[in-house]
Structure 1
Amino acid sequence: MSSPLVPPPGTALVLDFVNTRADGGGAVERLGDAQALACWLQAAGLIEPHVVVTAADAASARELRDALVTVMLAHSGAGEGRGDALTAAESHLRRTASLHPLAAVITAEGAVLASDQAGVPGAFGSILAAVADAAATDRWGRLKACRNPPCHHGFFDRTRNASGAYCSPGCGSQVSMRALRRRRMTG
């Protein structure tokens, strides 16, 4: 068994995908339209330059990403990752997985999940395979989304006790300052 502080397989792709969101810190939406999605998928090595990407594909990618962020918020204990939002996200992930089935690829070195589809469906399948690889380990719960509401940046929690809730000390400070201001206003 490897160290719990070492990210599981697939983590880099999952985090890169969920961190395509616009946030309060100046990051821009990287899946906003078909062209932006095509650029991201090509840069990630998930599609070839000739693959046609549609606006519907971009909308599906954003929905998949948002569902993953909600699950990762649940891992960090954030309110946005609980109740109806989490149930809806998990349901969306099940539906998406049914549209992009994975196959076991078994070799002498081991087994991995991979998409049998090509193009954008294959890219979505590859993202889901990376999620499944990470979720199959005891470190899945360490893939978290920052609890700071404007941020929700995805990160791998490397704290020894898996208690990390913020992607950076700056986000933790912002949340603390907002709480202090609220206490001063009401107190």
Structure 2
Amino acid sequence: MPVVETVLAFVNTRADGGGRQELFGDGHSFEAWLTEHDEFGGGHTVATDADAAAARELRDALVTLLLAHSGDEESLGEPLQHAEQHLRRAGALYPLATVVTAGGVELASPQAGVPRVFGTVLAAVTTFAQTGDWGRIKACRNPPCHFGFFDRTRNGAGLYCSTGCGSQVSMRNYRQRQRRESESPPEA
């Protein structure tokens, strides 16, 4: 699995109010997700509720960074600082090892179980960030979607994961303008 898909598979596990369910809600749901996504190295790992909570924290910190890539003002400042601090702590808790072979070099988690899963996510983030396209992995600015996506626009200015989300935001803004105009007193 290419690294961008690894990052997106992990961050796109949250409920969105539009039908997507929380996939890291508890240990059982996190364990089921790991079973379906063997590429994370979790295999048949037993996951606890604490593991699921740690996965949500890691995912939410990454989503905050991706929202910052989209220019979402609510994610900037203190939320972004907290996310970056959490990711630094995660980097210390789930160290990576350099694996050198005749075919190339990659970062991998030397740990087992859930720590290996988190290390695999961090390795994918690190590897992709080094490509120079890190800023193109974004989170949709349509609340509550925040679905992660790779911005394929020519100028890197994409803000939404789909045209549907872009349309929802446009319609919401239009309705707010209409409401404000109808509530404001007529000019004399």
TM-score between the two structures when normalised by the length of structure 2: 0.92
Specify the alignment match of 1:13 in structure 2. 6
Opposite residue 56 of structure 1, the aligned amino acid is A
In 1: Cα distance, 2:4 partner to 2:112 partner = 22
In 2: Cα distance, 1:10 partner to 1:80 partner = 27
Q: State the Cα distance separating 1:111 from its structure 2 match.
A: 1.2
Q: Identity over aligned residues, as a percent?
A: 60
Specify the alignment match of 1:141 in structure 2. 135
Q: How many residues align?
A: 179
- 2:172 aligned with 1:162, yes or no? no
Q: Runs of 4 or more off by more than 4 Å in structure 1? A: none
In 2: Cα distance, 1:13 partner to 1:44 partner = 10
8 Å contact from structure 1 (residues 76, 144) kept in 2: yes
Unaligned runs of 5+ in 2: 182-188
CA RMSD of aligned residues (A): 1.2
Task: Specify which structure has the bigger relative contact order, considering alpha-carbon pairs within 8 angstroms and separated by 6 or more residues.
Answer: 1
Specify the alignment match of 1:63 in structure 2. 57
In 2: Cα distance, 1:114 partner to 1:22 partner = 29
8 Å contact from structure 1 (residues 9, 134) kept in 2: no
Counterparts of 1:1-187 in structure 2 under 5 Å?
Answer: 9-45=2-38, 46-49=41-44, 51-187=45-181
In 1: Cα distance, 2:169 partner to 2:110 partner = 43
TM-score between the two structures when normalised by the length of structure 1: 0.92
In 2: Cα distance, 1:81 partner to 1:62 partner = 17
Larger gyration radius, structure 1 or structure 2 = 2
Unaligned runs of 5+ in 1: 1-7
Secondary structure of the residue aligned to 1:113 is strand
